[in-house]
């Protein structure tokens, strides 16, 4: 006779009149496999915790986003935001799909070059570009987005020194009607600063002004904010046409589209509130199409979309290390993955799904990581079936920012595995070992012996 599956016995107080939004079975289906590969096998083969990336999901999401824009506007170019996920394999999928690279440091710039991206398809953003970084970018004919006047003057000097006319765009910040307003990057539209730098560039004529750029923020849930941004950029674009008889090549509207993750404290789940690519595309492209820019001078529309293109493709698999009852009776789980691996748990209520069958019964649970630190909490409150030691679980939608903002803190960073479109698995970043650290550290002679 086959034995029954055991679930931890649990009891909870019945709270009258407490509606439960977790009542739907669909919330509750286990995630037993990713792209057809059983979670159990992945963990057996590559260990736990484990990052898993679905190539198929990346390509599908990219295609969906590209279509949303390209069916509405004739000249669309995505530039992959490296900081969102700069694992080489991930970047290369985006580059194969046709994305340029959008980088914000010398390190990211080198990564893009190493990935085979030609210099003239790299956009160099950010407030901190060193002299060496800029020289490299100028010599490689990359697009340099100017963030402040010190950078402008440095570029003027370098242009003379190298006798090259660097290709530049101006980053512009503005009020788009949303809070917070990102005002620390670039030049302000409302106070006239943006128009002033544009004029200086055009009058001095040492730099080749080719575009305008903005990035109005991240996880923007309202498409109209982009429409507002586009009105202001187009105003500048037309100003340049009118006064200098010059047609800029592109308008780069930045990133910032929301992903389907649920922000902490949000009442509705992100799956219900996240706008579609079509909605963003509609808001953005209709402003350009309806503007007075003539058809033959329509600028290329550049998008630096990050999280919305990669979040869904990333999973973090983990294992329950222990269960522990807290003094107030609440159940807690100690897992093998903590905030060191899931930076975004500070912003999101991540969805945690068991990887094996379970019953309909759930209990209020706190999910902890393995770190001996009070802040190591993955979920402060989540309804979960009674998981036990050794059970596996899946955290979905973690593809953005976690594999760049992760910390080597207390534990090692684990393997990252890519599932390709033929369902083959590849390690794309190896788990760290003590050797990685020994290689970097050096002990002065007098500290080598401790007795």
Partner 1 sequence: MKLKPKLAISDSGFIFDPSTGESYSLNEEGLIIVQFLKEGKNEEEIKEHFLNEYDIDETTFSRSYLDFISMLKHFNLIEHE
- Helix/strand/coil (H/E/C) assignment for every residue in 35-55: CCEEHHHHHHHHCCCEEEEEH
Neighbours of 211 (CB within 10 A): 21
Q: What are phi and psi of 347, to 5 degrees?
A: -110, -35
Nearest Cα to Cα of residue 167 among 135, 130, 142, 146: 142
- Is the Cβ of residue 129 or residue 307 nearer to ligand PLP in the bound state? 307
Residue 116 or residue 127: which is nearer to ligand PLP going by CB? 127
Residues in contact with ligand PLP, shown as a per-residue x/- string from 106 to 135 under the rule CB under 6 A: -------------------x----------
- Binding mask 385-424 toward ligand PLP (x if CB under 6 A, else -) reads ---------------x------------------------
Question: Of these, 232, 307, 350, 397, which contacts ligand PLP (CB under 6 A)?
Answer: 307
Q: Which of 215, 350, 379, 397 binds ligand PLP (CB under 6 A)?
A: 215
Identified binder of ligand PLP from the candidate list 176, 218, 285, 402, rule CB under 6 A: 218
C-alpha 337/C-alpha 47 separation (Å) is 12
Closest distance of CB 23 from ligand PLP, Å: 33
Closest CA to 338 of 374, 313, 307: 374
CA atoms within 13 A on the CB side of 385: 21
Residues that bind partner 1 (CB under 8 A): 3-14, 323, 325, 329, 359, 361, 386, 388-389
By the 10 Å C-beta count (0-12 exposed, 13-18 middle, 19+ buried), 48 is classed as: buried
Q: In this complex, which beta carbon is closest to ligand PLP, that of residue 257 or of residue 277? A: 257
User: Could you tell me the two tokens for 83?
Assistant: 């900081």
Closer Cβ to ligand PLP, 45 or 183, answer by number: 183
CB of 185 to ligand PLP, least distance (A): 7
Using CB under 6 A, which of 106, 211, 256, 275 touches ligand PLP?
A: 256
Side-chain-facing half-sphere of 123: CA atoms under 13 Å: 32
Residue 215 partner contact from partner 1, ligand PLP, none using kind-dependent CB cut-offs of 5 to 8 Å: ligand PLP
The two tokens of residue 438 are 């020994």
Residues of the shown chain interacting with ligand PLP in the complex, contacts defined by CB under 6 A: 81, 84, 102, 125, 215, 218, 254-257, 304-308, 400
């Amino acid at each position: 006779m086959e034995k029954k599956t055991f679930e931890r016995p649990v009891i909870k107080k019945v709270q009258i009149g407490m509606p439960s939004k977790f009542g739907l079975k669909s919330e509750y289906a286990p995630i037993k496999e990713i792209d057809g590969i059983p979670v159990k096998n992945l963990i057996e083969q590559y260990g736990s915790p484990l990052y898993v990336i679905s190539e198929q999901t990346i390509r599908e999401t990219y295609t969906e986003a590209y279509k949303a824009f390209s069916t509405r506007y004739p000249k669309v170019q995505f530039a992959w935001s490296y900081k969102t996920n700069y694992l080489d394999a991930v970047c290369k999928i985006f580059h194969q799909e046709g994305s340029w690279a959008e980088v914000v440091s010398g390190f990211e710039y080198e990564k893009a070059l190493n990935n085979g991206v030609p210099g003239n398809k790299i956009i160099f953003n950010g407030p901190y570009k060193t002299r060496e970084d800029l020289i490299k970018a100028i010599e490689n004919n990359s697009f340099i987005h100017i963030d402040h006047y010190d950078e402008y003057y440095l570029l003027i000097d370098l242009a003379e020194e190298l006798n090259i006319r660097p290709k530049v765009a101006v980053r512009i910040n503005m009020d788009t009607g949303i809070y917070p307003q990102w005002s620390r990057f670039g030049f302000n539209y409302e106070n006239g600063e943006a128009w002033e730098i544009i004029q200086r560039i055009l009058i001095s004529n040492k730099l080749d002004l080719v575009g305008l750029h903005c990035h109005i923020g991240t996880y923007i849930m309202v498409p109209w904010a982009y429409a507002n941004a586009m009105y202001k950029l187009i105003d500048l674009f037309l100003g340049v046409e009118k006064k200098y008889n010059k047609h800029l090549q592109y308008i780069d509207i930045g990133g910032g589209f929301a992903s389907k993750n649920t922000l902490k404290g949000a009442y509705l789940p992100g799956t219900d509130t996240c706008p579609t690519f079509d909605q963003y595309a509609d808001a953005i492209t209709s402003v350009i199409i309806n503007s007075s820019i003539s058809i033959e001078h329509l600028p290329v529309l550049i998008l630096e979309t990050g999280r919305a293109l990669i979040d869904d493709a990333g999973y973090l698999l983990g294992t329950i290390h222990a269960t522990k009852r807290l003094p107030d009776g609440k159940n807690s789980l100690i897992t093998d993955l903590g905030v060191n691996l899931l930076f975004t748990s500070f912003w999101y209520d991540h969805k945690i799904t068991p990887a094996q069958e379970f019953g309909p019964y759930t209990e209020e649970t706190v999910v902890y990581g393995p770190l001996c630190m009070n802040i190591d909490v993955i979920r402060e409150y989540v309804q979960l079936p009674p998981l036990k030691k050794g059970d596996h679980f899946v955290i979905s939608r973690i593809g953005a920012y976690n594999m760049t903002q992760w910390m080597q803190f207390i534990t090692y960073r684990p393997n990252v595995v890519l599932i390709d479109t033929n369902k083959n698995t590849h390690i794309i970043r190896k788990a760290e070992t003590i050797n990685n650290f020994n290689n970097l550290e050096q002990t002065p002679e007098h500290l080598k012996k401790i007795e």
